[in-house]
Amino acid sequence: MATAVTAENVEKVIFDGLVELGTERDQLAREATLEDLDVDSLDLVELAQIVEDEFGVELRGDDVKDVKTVGQVIDLVVSKAG
């Protein structure tokens, strides 16, 4: 059973996922840019797997190619679920 797609749940899963991928937790914020966090295309594919496992929401390369901040990733997941 997939977790309910609320902004709060998605933020927690994405924050935890980024820490798992090697980002320092104290650097995480909705406003943080992926570039500043050194999150690259491979990280985004791994993050998409985590999101799909958790929420059943599928993110593809085209979906995230213009995303700049962590907050935008969270909003994208929430909007795709809706």
Catalytic residues: 40
1: contact with another protein by CB under 8 A? no
Is the torsion defined by CA of 30, 34, 38, 39 positive or negative?
positive
Distance of CA 76 to the CA centre of its chain: 8
Question: Using CA atoms, how far apart are residues 82 and 79, in angstroms rounded to an integer?
Answer: 5
The residue among 16 and 46 lying less far from another protein, judged by its C-beta, is 46
| Choice from 16, 46, 63, 75 touching another protein (CB under 8 A) | 46
38: contact with another protein by CB under 8 A? yes
Structure tokens, 48: 């998409």
Chain residues that interact with another protein, rule: CB under 8 A = 21-23, 38, 42, 45-46, 49, 52
